């Protein structure tokens, strides 16, 4: 998946991400600007969930 595709997919998933991890906000999504690793770090920082659980969720959505 190229960067443009990833940005589009993350934009689509933004609402689901905020619903699943309520402490993640629009600023976090913007700061990641299409970089999945950065976004996963933000989610981990805000939620305390382990990296593997977050990565598993993203893979279940087709993001890998």
User: Could you say which of 1.10.150, 1.20.1440, 1.20.120, 1.10.1470 is the CATH number of the domain covering 3-60?
Assistant: 1.10.1470
Q: What is the pLDDT of residues 10-37, one digit of tens each?
A: 888 999 999 999 999 999 998 888 788 9
Kindly report the average pLDDT of the chain as a whole number: 90
Would you place residue 5 in the very low, low, confident or very high pLDDT band (cuts 50, 70, 90)?
Answer: confident
Q: Counting Cβ atoms within 10 Å, is residue 9 exposed (0-12), middle (13-18) or buried (19+)?
A: middle
């Amino acid at each position: 998946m190229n960067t443009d595709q990833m940005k589009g997919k993350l934009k689509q998933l933004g609402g689901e991400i905020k619903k699943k991890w309520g402490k993640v906000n629009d600023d976090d999504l913007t700061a990641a600007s299409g970089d999945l690793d950065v976004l996963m770090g933000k989610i981990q920082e805000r939620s305390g969930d382990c990296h593997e659980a977050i990565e598993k969720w993203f893979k279940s959505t087709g993001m890998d």
